A = this chain, B = another copy of it.
Amino acid sequence: MPKQVDYEDRRRRIAGAVCLLIARSGMESVSLRDVATEAGVSMGAVQRCFRTKDEMLLFALEDISQRIGERAKARIETSDAPRSATTLLDRTLSALALVDPEDRAEAQVWGAFVAHAAVSEHLAAVLRETYAKLHDLLVWLLGYGRDTGELSAILDPPAEARALLALTEGLTAQVLVGHQTPESARDVLERYVRGLMA
C-alpha cells in the first residue's frame, strides 16, 4: 500500500477555500485554479478530490450546512446553567441569523448558495435538509417553552418555527446588504420572542 492521503481532511480544507473565495468575491469568481491556490494545493489535487466543480460546490455547501447546524445545537447543549426557554430560543436565533460581524463571511456564503440553489436541484436538496433540521430544532424549543409555561400556550410550534426560520433568513440578508444593522436585527428577534411569551 503506497502513498495514502486523508481525503476527508483535504476535502474540508478545499471547502474552506471555496467559502473564503465566495466571501471575498462571490460565487461566480470561484475557479478551480483559485481554489487550488487558496487551499495551498495543486489543481490536480483538487481534481482528485472532486470529479467536477459542481461536486466540489456541493461538498462545500454540505460542509457549511453541517457547521451551522451543529453550532446552533451547541448553543443549546453547552448552556452550563439551566436557562429559560426564551433565553435559549433567543440565543439560538441569534446564532442562526449570522448578523454579527464575525459571521459576515458565513452569511455571504450562505446567501450565495441559496441563490445558486434556485437553479441547481442538488444544492436545493441539501438546503432543504438543513432547513428541515433547523425547523425541528426550533419546534422542539418552542414546545419546550410552551411546556414550561414560558411561551403562550396558544402558539402552534411548527407554524411559529417556519416564521422564525424565515425571519432569521431575511435578517441575514438584510444585514448583509446593509439595510439593517446587527443591532436592529437582534432587536427584531428579541421583540419577536417577547411577543411569544405567555
Residues of A within 8 A of B (CB): 24-28, 107-108, 111-112, 114-120, 124, 127-128, 131-132, 135, 159, 162-163, 165-171, 173-174, 176-180, 184-185, 187-188, 191-192, 195
Q: Is the CB of A27 within 8 A of B115?
A: yes
**Smallest beta-carbon distance A163→chain B, Å:** 5
Once A163-B192, A171-B166, A188-B159 are accepted as A-B contacts, the answer to whether A177 and B116 lie under 8 Å apart by CB is: no
- Of the candidates B119, B169, B185, the one whose C-beta lies within 8 Å of that of A173 is B169
Specify which chain B residues have a CB less than 8 angstroms from the CB of A169 in the assembled complex: 169-170, 173-174
**Secondary structure type dominating chain A contacts:** helix
Q: Is the CB of A117 within 8 A of B177?
A: yes
**Smallest beta-carbon distance A89→chain B, Å:** 16
Q: Is the CB of A26 within 8 A of B166?
A: no
- Bound Cα distance from A171 to B166, whole angstroms: 5
Q: Is the CB of B167 within 8 A of A180?
A: no
Q: Is the CB of B170 within 8 A of A165?
A: yes
Work out how many copies of this chain go into the complex.
2
Once A165-B174, A167-B163, A188-B166 are accepted as A-B contacts, the answer to whether A118 and B124 lie under 8 Å apart by CB is: no
Specify which chain B residues have a CB less than 8 angstroms from the CB of A25 in the assembled complex: 119
Q: Give the 10 A-B CB pairs with smallest separation, nearest first.
A: A166-B170, A170-B170, A28-B28, A169-B170, A115-B115, A131-B179, A26-B119, A108-B118, A111-B115, A166-B171
Specify which chain B residues have a CB less than 8 angstroms from the CB of A127 in the assembled complex: 177, 179
Not counting A132-B179, A165-B179, a sample of 16 additional A-B residue pairs whose C-beta atoms are within 8 angstroms of each other reads A26-B118, A111-B115, A111-B118, A124-B178, A128-B178, A131-B174, A135-B179, A159-B188, A163-B191, A166-B171, A166-B174, A166-B185, A166-B188, A169-B173, A169-B174, A173-B173
